[in-house]
Amino acid sequence: MKKSFTVREITTAAMIGTVYAVLSIALQPISFGAHQFRVSEALTLLPVLTPAAVPGLVVGCVISNMIGGAGILDVVFGFLATLLAALATRALRGKPVLAALPPVIFNTVIVGTVLSCVGSLPLLWTMLDVGIGELGGCFILGLPLLWALKRAKLFEKTASGQ
């Protein structure tokens, strides 16, 4: 078991977190609320390429939810959903299409529930709405991004732990 991250992996994690937060905040009108489509969710497939993406995504999500989210519940539960999804995506790294499912599932259930509670919205409709946005972010944007990055071999040097 690896005990520490290299400088390259820390830098990679920081860049992924920064890009996630910047995309979410720059596109704030569509990134937050019950009807959301986070373009940044395309990055949730990066754990397929590098373990550094796991902490990067978690930190990026926390920062973006602190700035534009639905309060402390969104920060805490968004952290949880992103962490669980990133770990599951990493575990499924050999099957990219399946690896796109954990962000959809965890965010649909966890974020959908939080938004329903915070906004006094119908639970199933809110979960469905979040799920549709996640499907778009992960499958329509994320898989093509993943395939392009694999082809470009950008993460080969940070793909330790594979």
Q: What pLDDT digit, counting tens, does each position of 60-105 carry?
A: 999 999 998 778 999 999 999 999 999 999 999 999 999 999 999 9
Q: Is the pLDDT of residue 138 over 90?
A: yes
Of the pLDDT bands very low, low, confident and very high (cuts 50, 70, 90), residue 10 is: very high
Q: Is the pLDDT of residue 155 over 90?
A: no
Predicted pLDDT of residue 1: 58
What digits encode the pLDDT tens for the residues 40-61?
A: 999 999 999 999 999 999 999 9
What digits encode the pLDDT tens for the residues 11-25?
A: 999 999 999 999 999
Report which residue type is found at 66. M
CA distance 136 to 105: 13
